[in-house]
Amino acid sequence: MGFPLYNLARSGYRLAPIGGVLIRHGFGYYVTRFRSHAGLPGRLARPDALELVSAPRRFRMVCQELGPTFIKFGQMLSTRADLLPDSWREELRNLTEHVPPFDSAEARRIIESDLKRPIGDLFAEFADTPVAAGSIGQVHHARLKSGEPVVVKVRRPDIEEKVLADLDRLELLAPLADRFDELRPLRIPMIVGEFRRSLMREIDFVSEASFTTKIGEALADDPRVMIPKVHWAFTTSNVLVLERIDGVSFNGREELARMGLDRRRLARDLAEVFLHQYFKSGIFHADPHSGNLLITRDHRIALVDFGMAGRLTSDLRAQLASSFIALTNRDLDIITDIYLEIGALSEDTDVERLKSDLQEALDKYYGIPIRCLDLRAAFSDAMRVARVHGVLLPRDFVLLGKSFVTMVMMAKELDPDFDLAEISKPYALSLVAAKFSPTAVGRDIASQGWYVGQMLRRFPRDMRSLTRKLLNGSLQVTLHLREFEGVLRELDRATNRLAFSILVAAIVIGSSVLLHAKVPPLVETVLPGALGRFFAAHLPEISALGLCGFLFAGVLGMLLAVAIWRSGRL
């Protein structure tokens, strides 16, 4: 129940700086609720100037001050429209990483150490000045011995140790956040777990190289697309070497105009490239902003930087397609059933109220021509309903929504008459048809048959074990009542304080007996002034054990009083 006390005691010194930053930016209320358990500072002074600063901005300042890992955590939260309202996400989007590049000599050392060869043997040219730098690493231009231009990403020295330390702090705080009723719907422990997996994948360049290769293979037959080639012979967890692609950014309107591109055709190609990733391959670029999408000189769409990528299983892709079709047909029963199937709804969710609120939120968008539809607003409204009803979508679903909305907005900038439904509906229909094709159904039956066979094979043994435990009285049933955890925790705390108080009272009584009986060893009473003369006349000697007992009881009583005061429940 709760978080292990020994872990908090062992790690309190790591949480103390976070507590100080939270207090400095006006979140002392949360600190005081668990500081006595986590070893956080106790002063709750809040500058008056913070009264005029909004909570989202103060939280953004907290992330900024705590450093790169927390900045990335805030950036990840800014994509979770199912968790945070627009005001918070808009503020967290302003999180930026002002990280200076590290020494190029250190970059050379890392490359040579990982690849076991001197730079001169690896590259014909290597630019010491990085072209970009971030919290995870920095990018250098280079040229292979074959003459091919490449980009070399080098991970920052000791970044993994720093990230792991910060992730440990977040994981210590996450269960504490779950103690607050207002924070519990955010399911912080699960979000932190997802963030750990995502960030550990991001700092491992082999993972990014793998996604780059997989998406490249999935789009290999499409002549409209270009994905940078990974040079695996030069790639490790610390070093990533990719084909260098030169092109024009999607927001470079003047340059695109000079290239003589058909903007309507380009918008359609962009949509089809991403719809293929969503509905066909199941692996997609999750951060398609203008800096990661280029138009090459031969008019191909180049996708770069796969540090943020998503993956959808075949089941999730089928559910996505079914959701899309149900949305166009205004069938909210299917959508809520899909939510239930993927575990997005809690047991307390009022499904009928959810359907009613979804209907109300989406009604205003039905019948609007696609060119006039504000897809970002529609997505925001749907996510608002999800937040109200505690709907927590899978991370990859949310990444897909962000990627999808960004892609559509870029397509509409290229072509104001872009028709999303015309392009996307065939993809969804083909995926649903494939899901229910005889081949797919037969494969599912065969797969489920294996599980049924395993269950039948183990059934006699399981029944025999169950019967044996029932007969000898060793059968146990365990119930986990989450609703009573808080009550039991408070009861446990109150019981401990009561026992502590009884112990202090017993020490006081015992010390009084020792003093009254003058149990040796005795010490002479030496006090100044009138008080000293009084004791010299009536109590010239006192028991040393009794005196020590009184002092010990006084210290314990003060500690108890301080603990009660710090809990805020006098």
Active site residues: 287
Cα(192)–Cα(196) distance, rounded to whole angstroms?
Answer: 6
Instruction: From 71, 78, 62, select the one nearest 98 (Cα to Cα).
Output: 71
Two tokens at 424? Answer: 């996307």
Which residues have a Cβ under 8 Å from the Cβ of 511 and sit 6 or more positions away?
Answer: 545, 546, 547, 548, 549, 550, 553
Task: Tell me the three-class secondary structure of 208-251, residue by residue.
Answer: HHHHHHHHHHHCCCCCCEECCCECHHHCCCCEEEEECCCCEECC
Which amino acid does the sequence have at 353? R
Q: Which residues contact 479 (CB under 8 A, 6 or more apart)?
A: none
Burial class (CB in 10 A: 0-12, 13-18, 19+), 334: middle
Beta bridge partners of 123: 144
Closest by alpha carbon to 192, among 325, 33, 83, 37?
83
Phi and psi torsions of 499, nearest 5° = -65, -40
- How remote is the C-alpha of 391 from its chain's centroid? 16
Which residue has 């918070």 as its token pair? 88
Residue 60's identity, in one-letter code, is R
Question: What is the four-CA torsion angle of 125, 127, 128, 134, rounded to 10 degrees?
Answer: -130
Contact present, 69 and 167 (Cβ < 8 Å): yes
Residue with tokens 């040229």: 143
Amino acid at the residue 449: G
Residue 260, number of CB atoms within 10 A of its CB:
7
CA dist 163 and 96 (Å) reads 17
d(CA 516, CA 510): 10
Contact 91, 46 (CB under 8 A): no
Helix (H, G, I), strand (E, B) or coil at 393: coil
217: closest CA among 152, 271, 277, 294? 277
* Cα separation, 556 vs 570, whole angstroms: 17
Q: Where are the alpha helices (DSSP H) in 93-204?
A: 104-115, 119-122, 159-177, 188-203
Question: Is residue 96 packed enough to be buried (19+ CB in 10 Å), middle (13-18) or exposed (0-12)?
Answer: exposed
